[in-house]
Structure 1
Amino acid sequence: MAAAASHSLPLELITEILTKLPVKSLHRFKCVSKSWNSLISSSKFIKLHLTKTLVNSNIIVTNNNSLLSSAISDIKLRFDIVTHPLNNLPHRPPVELIESVHGILLISDFPKKTVFLFNPSNKTHRLIPPAPSREPAFAFGLVEVFGFGYDSVTDDYKVVRLVQWFDEGSGFCRESSVYSMRNDSWKSVYDETVLYSLQRTNAIAVESTLCFVVISRDSMLLLKCFDLRTNTFSLVDHPDLDSYEYGKMTMSLRNLRGCLCLVVNYQKHKVDPSKFMGDPLYNRKFLYADVWELKDCKWVKLFRVRKKEIDKDCMYLRLVTYSKDEKSVLIEVDGAWFGWYDLVTRKIKRVSVLGLRLEDSPHVAFTCVDSLVSVSKKKGAIARKKTIKKDDFLSSGFKFKL
């Protein structure tokens, strides 16, 4: 029926209709005909479908060794378990969600030894090879952070790895490298901003730029940016912050409405830090948070969330996404619960959560769209490499470059 109807409709109209459908439906419609299969599988259609779905986001959450997903709702979030490639490892490690871009997740095990690109919509995944590095097996003071984004110039998805450690002979050592999904390979990049120490937080992608939080020598928090198009680093000053004491403030980044947003949590110590045992983060008490947006190279203060506007004591909050009418923003508090913050009434409405055990917090929430983008390696390229390797003895003295 559908195949017969398709002959009476122009291709442009068929394409327009199909781009509005979810990924699951499109996978089924590939069986309608060879022409539909060819259309839906084409790179042009995949990009067009992506532009239609960027506003329809889901929430992805990591919870120990689980990955869970929920549609965005004003009243209730219902999380379902997402099967991911790290589940296939024998020891079932905790999963870390590093970033979400165009429906593709960058996930890793807890020590970041096994890293995958994974699209939960079409179930494609790719194991990223280890980055070449000179770091020792047991490095003192090791800090390793990742970033993941899309290079619009080369139509390539890239992973950036920054690592620093301390060596008794050489002092602080640092490395920067970039992985190209198109080439399936790493290469080292020069970083002239190495005097700034890394925070243990991964980067956030905004357009073709990755943004990291770093610390200067005078203990000031700054933003370090990496341009995926030019493979260059730069520094961005933070906005005019309230006076603070280092150790009583946390910063988190998010991509909201296509712009870089900065959340600055101002805190105070619960007890004397010298008498507190454990993670210093849990010795902090929330006072208020300022939310800034970087637009046209200028920081604009959007709003402030005060302690009295949250119904219980907490340590920090992070942004997740805006509502469709952009009058509310979904916030994540202490990685334990969610609430919609009304930008007009300045009140928080707590959201009911199903399928997510709050006792397993803290969790980390990102938004993710449904997309057809595949991260699997092309079978043709793999077959070609195997053929060349097999017949290599026939061409002694020659080198093949793919």
Structure 2
Amino acid sequence: MIEHLEELILEILIRLPVKSLVRFRCVSKSWCAWIDSQHFISLHLQHSINTQTNLHVILSDCENKTDHYSLAFDEVFDEPLTKFNNVFTSDKGYKIVGSCKGLLCLSYSIPKNERLILWNPFTRRYKKLPTARVSKLRLSPAYRYGFGYDDVSNDYMVLKLIPSYGLKSYRHIGNEAEVYSLRLNSWKRVENFPYSEFKFLRSACFVNGSLYWLVYFESYRMEAQDFESPWLIVAFSLEDEEFRELPLPSTSNKDDDLKYLGVGESYDFDLAVLDGCLCFLKIYDSNAVEVWVMKQYGEEEFWSRLHLLIPDGFYDSDESGFVKSLAYSKNGEKLLLETQQKALIWYDLKKSDNKVYTFPDVLPYFDANMCFESLVSLGDGSKYDGSV
């Protein structure tokens, strides 16, 4: 009878939000030990991921970058925004560069003054990462980051790319790479980094144990290289720390690449994560978007395509194209998009009655990321709110 009662309690507790679980730690010493155990933390997080519950859209203010808000994931965003305590005191603010299994990675990077933070916004704990090794190349503020989790070593990891530029030409001259381990709380250099001459765009996407970047080889170097296209998707496995390459979906060809690089009508490329799958987005200046979703991983990648048309008024072709896929609805019939950093759109994949949400009084411009509530610990050296 007692065993059945404990199983019932466990089934109830793994469904609860973090705020309730933190409060229930005070019920007894045994409940506290239970909720704090790695086994329970893993069960709670995995249940949330499997059922798409305890999921939030994290909105970061693009104007006042120290402010971050939470919006409970729902097909009807009728609840008010919840503002997080401002624990990031820099006037410049911190940018979210990755979200993974209940943690966020934030960066504030200027030459010779880099700061990285891992943050659990629901337990209100954060950890400032130690300073990485100083690059031997000329430092650039345009660092690129990837944040993910290795199931084998049970470790959260950050991959940092350091692009550098010539002192006189200001041309890109190379990259270095370093990997941070939360379990070891230390950095190490990636030896023989194979993509020194490529440019890495934005931050990486974490999918299925690997970090994925969209990269390109600059046009002025193309003549000396045997490339069919300057564009590649580069994957970095967190388990074995090996790189591999993936071609873009087959619709991309050399003419398309030339258009992107300035010949003819332009559009943008990007990567995103959707329902645990890697997505390649091809964003036209006519408010049309192709979303290619990778359904199979390994030597033979398989992409499936969605064709979207952003509603009028929420895509400005005069600005740089920006559309980001965030999540499917629970029934899979709608797709949540962020457009131009000013609107969330529930895009109906079967009908045309899309729902648009803006927050002009609080967040006229924002950056959106998905994050599950979790009890994941940041280990020794973590802090509870306060100044960074």
Same fold (TM over 0.5): yes
Sort the Cα spacing of 1:196 and 1:246 in 2 relative to 1 into closer, same or farther, 3 A: farther
Mean Cα deviation higher: 178-187 or 108-117? 108-117
Following superposition, the deviation at residue 60 of structure 1 comes to 0.5
Find the counterpart in structure 2 of residue 229 from structure 1: 239
Sort the Cα spacing of 1:227 and 1:118 in 2 relative to 1 into closer, same or farther, 3 A: same
- SS of 2:85's partner is coil
Q: 1:47 aligns with which of 34, 42, 46?
A: 42
Asked if structure 2 preserves the Cα contact closer than 8 Å seen for 1:80 and 1:355, the reply is no
Find the counterpart in structure 2 of residue 296 from structure 1: 296
Sort the Cα spacing of 1:357 and 1:134 in 2 relative to 1 into closer, same or farther, 3 A: closer
1:263 maps to a residue whose letter is L
Sort the Cα spacing of 1:310 and 1:331 in 2 relative to 1 into closer, same or farther, 3 A: farther
Q: 1:349 aligns with which of 324, 335, 355?
A: 355
Q: CA–CA distance in 2 between the matches of 1:97 and 1:46?
A: 23
1:183 maps to a residue whose letter is L
Find the counterpart in structure 2 of residue 146 from structure 1: 145
Find the counterpart in structure 1 of residue 33 from structure 2: 38
Asked if structure 1 preserves the Cα contact closer than 8 Å seen for 2:314 and 2:340, the reply is no
Q: CA–CA distance in 2 between the matches of 1:125 and 1:366?
A: 18
Asked if structure 2 preserves the Cα contact closer than 8 Å seen for 1:332 and 1:339, the reply is yes
1:81 maps to a residue whose letter is K
Q: 2:312 matched to 1:310?
A: yes
Asked if structure 1 preserves the Cα contact closer than 8 Å seen for 2:288 and 2:309, the reply is yes
The TM-score with structure 1 as length reference comes to 0.79
- Write out aligned runs for 1:346-385 (5 A): 346-353=352-359, 356-358=362-364, 361=365, 363-377=366-380
- SS of 1:201's partner is strand
Structure 1 unpaired stretches of 5+ = 1-5, 268-285, 380-402
Structure 2 unpaired stretches of 5+ = 223-228, 383-388
Sort the Cα spacing of 1:135 and 1:81 in 2 relative to 1 into closer, same or farther, 3 A: farther
Following superposition, the deviation at residue 214 of structure 1 comes to 0.6
State the identity as a percent: 27
Which of 1 and 2 has greater Rg? 1
Asked if structure 2 preserves the Cα contact closer than 8 Å seen for 1:96 and 1:110, the reply is no
Following superposition, the deviation at residue 347 of structure 1 comes to 4.7
Q: CA–CA distance in 2 between the matches of 1:142 and 1:25?
A: 41
Q: CA–CA distance in 2 between the matches of 1:174 and 1:195?
A: 4
- SS of 2:114's partner is coil
Sort the Cα spacing of 1:376 and 1:93 in 2 relative to 1 into closer, same or farther, 3 A: farther
Q: CA–CA distance in 2 between the matches of 1:85 and 1:208?
A: 30
Equivalent residue pairs, number: 347
Find the counterpart in structure 1 of residue 20 from structure 2: 25
Q: CA–CA distance in 2 between the matches of 1:205 and 1:312?
A: 28
Sort the Cα spacing of 1:143 and 1:200 in 2 relative to 1 into closer, same or farther, 3 A: farther
Q: CA–CA distance in 1 between the matches of 2:232 and 2:356?
A: 32
- SS of 2:19's partner is helix
Higher helix share: 1
Find the counterpart in structure 1 of residue 188 from structure 2: 187
Sort the Cα spacing of 1:172 and 1:312 in 2 relative to 1 into closer, same or farther, 3 A: closer
Q: 1:321 aligns with which of 327, 331, 340?
A: 327
Asked if structure 2 preserves the Cα contact closer than 8 Å seen for 1:66 and 1:82, the reply is yes
Q: 2:253 matched to 1:251?
A: no
Find the counterpart in structure 2 of residue 383 from structure 1: none
Find the counterpart in structure 1 of residue 85 from structure 2: 83
Q: Deviations over 1:84-136 (max 9, x none)?
A: 4323xxx4322201111111000122537111000011111111011102246
Q: CA–CA distance in 2 between the matches of 1:346 and 1:222?
A: 34
Following superposition, the deviation at residue 66 of structure 1 comes to 1.0
- SS of 1:190's partner is coil
CA RMSD in angstroms comes to 2.5
Sort the Cα spacing of 1:343 and 1:84 in 2 relative to 1 into closer, same or farther, 3 A: same
Following superposition, the deviation at residue 289 of structure 1 comes to 1.1
Find the counterpart in structure 1 of residue 250 from structure 2: 240
Q: 2:127 matched to 1:126?
A: yes
Asked if structure 1 preserves the Cα contact closer than 8 Å seen for 2:98 and 2:106, the reply is yes
2:234 maps to a residue whose letter is K
Asked if structure 1 preserves the Cα contact closer than 8 Å seen for 2:199 and 2:217, the reply is no
- SS of 1:230's partner is coil
Q: 1:62 aligns with which of 60, 64, 70?
A: 60
Sort the Cα spacing of 1:84 and 1:253 in 2 relative to 1 into closer, same or farther, 3 A: farther
- SS of 1:114's partner is strand
Following superposition, the deviation at residue 7 of structure 1 comes to 6.4
Find the counterpart in structure 1 of residue 160 from structure 2: 161
1:327 maps to a residue whose letter is E
Asked if structure 2 preserves the Cα contact closer than 8 Å seen for 1:148 and 1:157, the reply is yes
Asked if structure 1 preserves the Cα contact closer than 8 Å seen for 2:96 and 2:106, the reply is yes
2:247 maps to a residue whose letter is D
Q: CA–CA distance in 1 between the matches of 2:363 and 2:141?
A: 31
Q: Deviations over 1:133-175 (max 9, x none)?
A: 2246x64x66310011000000000011011212469982321
Find the counterpart in structure 1 of residue 386 from structure 2: none
1:246 maps to a residue whose letter is Y
Find the counterpart in structure 1 of residue 385 from structure 2: none
